[in-house]
Amino acid sequence: MKSDRNLHVILAIGLCCFFFLLLNVGCTPYLSEGIDGKYDSSHIYMDSIDGTLAKVAKSVYRIETITTFKIGDQSSTLKIVGMGFSLDNKHILTAKHVTSIDSYQVQTPFGLMTFPLSPENKIEETTSLVFDDGSRNPVRVIYRDDELDFAVLETEERINPPVYSIGDSEDFQIVNVVGPQVIT
The CA–CA distances, whole Å, from 134 to 18, 124, 127, 128, 147 equal: 47, 21, 14, 11, 32
User: What superfamily does domain 52-155 belong to in CATH?
Assistant: Trypsin-like serine proteases (2.40.10.10)
Q: Distance between terminal CA atoms of the chain?
A: 75
Map out the domains of the chain as residue ranges: 2-27, 52-155
Residue 131 near residue 57, CB atoms below 8 Å: no
Read off the pLDDT of residues 84-141 as tens digits, 9 standing for 90 and up. Answer: 989 889 999 999 999 998 888 889 999 999 989 888 999 999 999 988 888 899 999 9
Q: How far is it, in rounded angstroms, from Cα 15 to Cα 19?
A: 6
pLDDT for 138 equals 94
pLDDT of residue 122: 92
Strands 60-71 and 74-86: antiparallel
As a whole number of angstroms, the distance between CA 143 and CA 152 comes to: 5
